[in-house]
Amino acid sequence: MSAVVPKPGWKAWLTAEVADSALQARAQRAWFGWLRFLRNPLALAGLCVILALGLVALFAPWIATHDPLAQDLAQRLLPPSSAHWFGTDQVGRDIFSRVVYGSRITLAIVFLVGILVAPIGLMVGTVAGYAGGRVDAVLMRTTDIFLAFPGLVLALAFVAALGPGLVNAVIAISLTHWPGFARLARAETLVVRSSDYIAASRIQGASALRIVLRHVVPMCIPSVMVRTSLSMAGVILTAAGLGFLGLGAQPPSPEWGAMLASGRRFLLDYWWLATFPGLAILVVSLAFNLLGDGLRDVLDPRSS
């Protein structure tokens, strides 16, 4: 019956009293979660900004007015105008186009770091929390070692060892961020571990692997998701910091942090070189923070 649903029936399918299939049940839950999310205007604004970032990155060639790498020394250090919306930098490149193309780099960093740290931190944390004993001790001491170093310093050390460049920056940032996720997942796991539903699974004869993957991990995912979003702000800033120090994406790549660095010298007389990439970093970081807060309000399993 649920196979042939006409388009106008979608709303009815999502709000039906009785779900006919697992898919429908999950879709309904996601739908109500979405409605709850919509009630938070700031979180919605954050989401919109991030979606806009994605669109800008996707359609960069059409949005940018100039070639971001094209230098024109005759047009250097021009203030914002109708020809160059954000002005030009010290070698005549259009700053607006560079900010637009820079969104691709930012998005790439955010995405790559996200898909590295969240799963790794989640698995390490849940295994440590569920197994306990020596496994827990070994994994947590490893985590502690990484946590002992300040983020930027550790990233610097790795990049110094691996060499500058975008990919190495991503690896370095990931290495500094995963321990936080592991700690978080472990804390959640310790709470979940003593639940009756885990006991029920054990009595049924479920293996530890099954319990961790099907029972523990789903309970940890909401807080990991929230933390991922909140961390992204920090990731962008770390990437900007690395770029600022010349250790991230290399010139002439339009990475926002690098643009900040090169624009710093001209800040007093030619404010537009550093301000626009700086604003972009600010807005995107803020958006991730707001999104994270909104997600937390919706996803907190304790409140359901």
Residue 74 in contact with other proteins, rule: CB under 8 A: no
The span from the CA of 118 to the CA of 89, in Å, is 37
Q: Is residue 301 involved in binding other proteins (CB under 8 A)? A: yes
d(CA 228, CA 233): 9
Pick the binder of other proteins from 21, 54, 61, 153 (CB under 8 A).
21
**Which of 12, 25, 153, 282: binder of other proteins (CB under 8 A)?**
25
202 contacts other proteins (rule: CB under 8 A): yes
Alpha carbons 144 and 123: distance in angstroms, whole number: 16
By CB under 8 A, tell whether 8 contacts other proteins: no
Residue 132 touching other proteins (CB under 8 A): no
Nearer to other proteins by Cβ, of 147 and 221: the residue is: 221
Q: Which residues of 258-295 are buried (b: 16+ CB within 10 A; e: fewer)?
A: bbbbbbeeeeeebebbbbbbbebbeebbebbbbbbbbb
Cα dihedral value 224, 226, 228, 230, nearest 10: -140
- Could you say which of 66, 98, 177, 215 contacts other proteins (CB under 8 A)? 215
How many residues bind other proteins (CB under 8 A)? The answer is: 27
29 binds other proteins (CB under 8 A): yes
Q: Is 205 in the site for other proteins (CB under 8 A)?
A: yes
**Number of other residues whose CB lies within 10 A of the CB of residue 116:** 17
At residue 88, the 3 state secondary structure works out as: strand
Residue ranges that bind other proteins, judged by CB under 8 A: 18-22, 24-26, 29, 195-197, 199-206, 210, 214-215, 218-219, 301, 304
